Amino acid sequence: MKEIDRSKPVLVTGGAGYIASWVIQYLLEEGISVRATVRSKTDSKKISHLQKLSDRFPGKLELFEADLLKEGSFQNAIQDRGGVELIIHTASPFFIDGVKNAQKELVDPALQGTTNVLNSANKSPSVKRIVLTSSVAAVFGDNVDSESVPGRLMTEEHWNTTSSLTHQPYPYSKTVAEREAWKIAQSQNQWDLLTINPSFVMGPSLSERADGTSVNFMQSMVNGKFASGVPDMMIGFVDVRDVARAHVLAGFTPNAKGRHIVSAETLTFLDAAKVIREKYGKRFPTPKSALPKFLTYLIGPFFGLSWPYISRNVGVSFQLDNSYSKKDLGLSYRPISETFVEHIQQLISAKMVPEKKV
């Protein structure tokens, strides 16, 4: 049980990120001072939304430069002026397409970054708790993994054992990073570790960056890319604001512990398209059918889907158990229909999706 002093600053790594930005806003709204690490304080395109938050909450947000791959680069942000008691470590790359070197692009930043931050915490006597952004990708790698689980219901007890550098490298990177975090946590007794394991994070962004995986997915659902049909795939969805709230609750709920699957609903791509159509009607060329598996094998590679990935995920259902996040953190979930609508509205405002009726 760790009681965190709310009068002391909280460190949020990866401060310019999708989830971290909401975490920072929620902390500031609760009157808590925040230290946020960013790669560069001069990259105004990536941090302009943080500067706006700083203007809204004068003297409450301080930016520090840090590099996941540079040992000790988080030390100053952790130890400066009496140090922090709570670290929320969100910094880790998230992209699935176009990976050329999985070790260098995904595994090294995730694993070394986590090791770097946790080792720095070990040198800082002020630290009492660390909340790590992991993923349901560290719970299971492919949908077919659920076939050996009663009711195909994935829980925090399960670990991804099927991903590798060559198959599902992103889930692999999240798994090795979380496993190492627990290993480091268990080797000391100064601070405790909690992990947040979200499913596919959707919803409005505080930044204006348009290069995220979530944005790409939503654009594909409404811009006609899948108009002829979507793969018969199932995925867990969750609102970015619920994920951010989970991090804050994990930080400040003294009795909270362990891993937390954070997911609102498990839907097929076709179900997701129906949710969009219920709100927008014929305004967008949303998919109306699922592709047969054999057709997915034919066209999948054009969408970056390998044959092993298709065979282990297409047409395979599963469920995610979010009951522990509700019980341990007191987390409640907003309807995913609300999430989708607000995400699309932001894309419309930014002129990133077609506005003409189809």
Q: What are the start-end ranges of the H helices in 103-168? A: 108-122
Spacing of C-alpha 28 from chain mean position: 20
174 is catalytic: yes
The C-alpha atoms of residue 178 and residue 175 are separated, in whole angstroms, by: 5
The C-alpha atoms of residue 160 and residue 310 are separated, in whole angstroms, by: 18
DSSP assignment of 72-98, as one string? TTTHHHHHGGG--SEEEE-------TT
Q: Residues 8, 12, 16, 22: is their CA dihedral positive or negative?
A: negative
The C-alpha atoms of residue 53 and residue 25 are separated, in whole angstroms, by: 7
The C-alpha atoms of residue 4 and residue 7 are separated, in whole angstroms, by: 9
Smallest CA-to-CA distance from 262 within 310, 200, 211, 314 is with 200
Please compute Rg for the chain using Cα positions.
Answer: 20
Spacing of C-alpha 59 from chain mean position: 28
Q: What are the start-end ranges of the H helices in 201-288? A: 213-222, 240-252, 269-280
Segment holding 347, helix H or strand E: helix 336-349
The C-alpha atoms of residue 25 and residue 32 are separated, in whole angstroms, by: 10
Q: Given 104, 174, 183, 225, which residue is catalytic?
A: 174
Separation of first and last alpha carbons in the chain? 56
For residue 317 the two structure tokens come to 């259902």
The C-alpha atoms of residue 300 and residue 306 are separated, in whole angstroms, by: 7
Q: Which residues are catalytic?
A: 174
